[in-house]
Amino acid sequence: MNEYTDIGDAGSDREKSMETIRSKLALLPDKPGCYLMKNSVGTIIYVGKAKVLKHRVRSYFTGSHNAKTQLLVSEIRDFEYIVTSSNMEALILECNLIKQHHPRYNVLLKDDKTFPYIKITQEEHPRLEVTRRVIKDKGKYFGPYPNAYAAQETKKLLDRLYPLRKCKTLPDKVCLYFHIGQCLAPCVQDVAAEDNERMVQQITRFLNGGHEDIKNELKAKMQAVSEELNFERAKELRDHIVYIDAVMEKQKITTIDAVDRDVFGYVVDKGWMCVHIQYMRQGKLIERHVSLFPYYGEEYEDFITYVMQMYSENPALPKEIFLPAPPERELELKAEAADSIGVTAVDPSGLEVADPSGATAVEPDGQEAADQSGEIAVDSAGSEAADLTGFALNHPGMDEVEAVEAVEAVDAIAETNIPSEAADTREKDVKEALEVWLKLKVLFPQRGLKKQMVDMAKDNARAALNEKFRLVERDELRSVKAVQNLGEWLGTAAISRIEAFDNSNIQGTNPVSAMVVFVNGKPDRKEYRKYKVKTVQGPDDYETMREVIRRRYERVLKENLTLPDLIVVDGGKGQISAALDILENELGLYVPVCGLVKDAKHKTAQLMIGDPPEVIPLPRDSQEFYLLQRIQDEVHRFAITFHRETRAKSMVVSKLDSIPGIGEKRRKMLLKHFGSVKKMKEAQVEEFRTLGIGQKLAGEILKALQDEVGTS
């Protein structure tokens, strides 16, 4: 009865929300802006931008959508919108709203602050450091360096060349860095501001791509000191030059100019987007970075959102960025390329328009005969009977795939008739927003070397996305194969569902157990379960296993849940026997039970099964062994995490519960308000008044928590 009532209530709420949405749709303005989609509890789940809010927001509730957009729309129960004065403002506002609300269906640049930067601090005696925190502190940031190793190696090189101070807090005496010539020791002697400024300028020049000039200067110094017979100093300078070459050897010159630029490329497939960025400094490709993530909106808009987020808090900006053209422009470029080699398009009547060379001929019955050069034949219905191989052979440099793309581009232009103004408008909006907001130059290369650089980024993105799909497919095949073979090794029927158990305690205190479930070799986290041990006193692993197995499979029988094909316990003969005793003698269940025995290094070593248990000679390099190892590691992680949570809560609960006037309700209220015991301990007495707790009780709470820390 309650179940049907809940379903009816849910349907009623859905109808009410749709009625509200329909009313709001009628009031949408014909202006640019941002819209915020909300779910049933009012949480913002998607933020988007629109040139015309009325048309864009309505499109979510009319027509057909792909599977991912349908998933988003199914959760929408309300929306808000913010009108802006221009498309540029809408782009910037969207980026800020995404960073503020972190909607689950937006492209979230979760690693926008994880790239390492090399930083020169703004202090009396500056320091050089590698940091992942970007703050507005007047320091000079250089990067980003997607490869943390490259950032650290570059810093080591600069430490050798320029002896800025190393210690965060100046010590009372000199350290090792002074003795090896990597610090001027401002802690014990005066260092002129001019010396610090000179080194900062040299480091800035080096990190901006001037390492060749600095290397030449070092060579000149080495030659000079050699002539003075100061060979020890000459050797030091030579070592610096060699180290510069070693650190910079992986950089490749890709352009003849020396402009700092970032080159973007992206591809989409199966609901995923891959963005590839090439970081070029002083005309050299110094690093590349790949991001893969699911997307739910329109592909190019989500790509631009990614770019906006990436640069919104990046202090080390390039001079210019190259972006791929919008899809409309790409279609036009393909059509132009096809047209330049004589490919023809199909008009609405189904007849092919003759190319300028006059190579095609249309027969009276509307059928076009393919000429001897292998050109494309199109019948009156517009279908292709193309000899693409011959077509490609008659156009040097073009393979069959390129021939297909050329023909498809021409036909797409003929069918859709997309105006070039659409691409112009979109490029203008993006260009204006980024250039005004970030003060950098934005280009959409369409031909030549710069277009090749963007195409190379797109090719790398496509390769990365294909690799992801291949790895997922390979892992799935391996998991399925491992499960199939495991059944053969154990002498059981086919194994699909595996349930694994592990116990955790510290000398018998806060004993807990955990169960994980693997289906077809993959974890099913919705099926994971935690158990607080109730009947066992002290560190008795066998009795703990008995209790947990009994509780789990009594419930399976009572609620008619799915039985596993195999039960895995963490341990050997004792644990297996305890589990089998409960299953067979108490519950009348006959499910295979195997044990995973660990070695002295706490690694999975042996597989045991049977009654009495015997070792199964499973090869340690087999996929079946790797699967069992993953299962044991996962259940151990899950049990340990639960035990730590239980132990931490019990320490807090026991201390708060010992205070007169603090019951379960107040304890939960305190933890919810302060967030943690640490913050509660650091709070002032006045902060407890908002919870209805007086000065006396608040003082007792603080005293009890401080006594606990002192005792610890």
pLDDT in tens, 18-38: 888 888 898 899 988 999 999
Residues 100-141: tens digit of each pLDDT: 888 888 876 554 445 678 888 888 888 888 887 777 777 888
Helices (H) and strands (E) in the chain, counts: 21, 20
- Average pLDDT of the chain is 76
Lowest mean pLDDT among 104-113, 285-294, 467-476, 506-515: 104-113
Q: What percent of the chain has pLDDT over 70?
A: 76
Token pair, residue 53, equals 């809010």
Mean pLDDT, residues 224-250: 74
d(CA 433, CA 255): 27
> Is the bond preceding 592 in cis, omega lying within 30 degrees of 0?
no
Q: What is the DSSP string of 318-354?
A: -SEEE-PPPHHHHHHHHHHHHHHTT---B-TTSPBPP
Mean pLDDT, residues 228-237: 80
CB-count exposure of residue 549 (10 Å: 0-12, 13-18, 19+): buried
Q: What percent of the chain has pLDDT over 90?
A: 11
Helix (H, G, I), strand (E, B) or coil at 424: helix
Decide which of 63 and 175 is more confident. 175
d(CA 255, CA 267): 24
pLDDT value at position 351? 37
Inter-residue contact 46 to 106 (CB < 8 Å): yes
pLDDT value at position 322? 93
d(CA 529, CA 552): 9
Mean pLDDT, residues 399-408: 53
pLDDT value at position 501? 93
Decide which of 206 and 56 is more confident. 56
Report the relative pairing of strands 441-443 and 320-322 from DSSP bridges: parallel
Mean pLDDT, residues 500-505: 86
**Taking the mean position of all CA atoms in its chain, how far away is CA 296?**
15
pLDDT value at position 341? 53
Residues 277-297: tens digit of each pLDDT: 988 876 777 777 888 888 887
Lowest mean pLDDT among 244-258, 286-300, 319-333, 698-712: 244-258
Contacts of 259 (CB under 8 A, 6+ apart): 280, 282, 283, 318, 319, 320
Mean pLDDT, residues 566-593: 89
Which among 55, 86, 61, 57 has a CA at the least distance from the CA of 73? 61
Token pair, residue 317, equals 């900006």
pLDDT value at position 507? 60
CB-count exposure of residue 290 (10 Å: 0-12, 13-18, 19+): middle
pTM across the whole model? 0.53
Inter-residue contact 589 to 596 (CB < 8 Å): no
Task: Quickly count: other Cβ atoms within 10 Å of residue 110's Cβ.
Answer: 11
Contacts of 468 (CB under 8 A, 6+ apart): 272, 274, 292
Inter-residue contact 635 to 516 (CB < 8 Å): yes
CA atoms within 13 A on the CB side of 660: 1
pLDDT value at position 257? 67
d(CA 636, CA 518): 14
d(CA 378, CA 232): 80
> Taking 50 as the threshold, does the pLDDT of residue 382 lie above it?
no
Residues 639-668: tens digit of each pLDDT: 888 877 776 666 555 566 667 777 777 877
Helix (H, G, I), strand (E, B) or coil at 50: strand
Lowest mean pLDDT among 114-128, 329-343, 487-501, 698-712: 329-343
Lowest mean pLDDT among 181-190, 209-218, 331-340, 393-402: 393-402
Decide which of 569 and 205 is more confident. 569
> Is the bond preceding 364 in cis, omega lying within 30 degrees of 0?
no
**Taking the mean position of all CA atoms in its chain, how far away is CA 483?**
30
Mean pLDDT, residues 322-334: 77
Locus of tokens 């100019």:
257
Distances (CA, A) of 177 to 180, 184, 234, 544: 5, 9, 20, 56
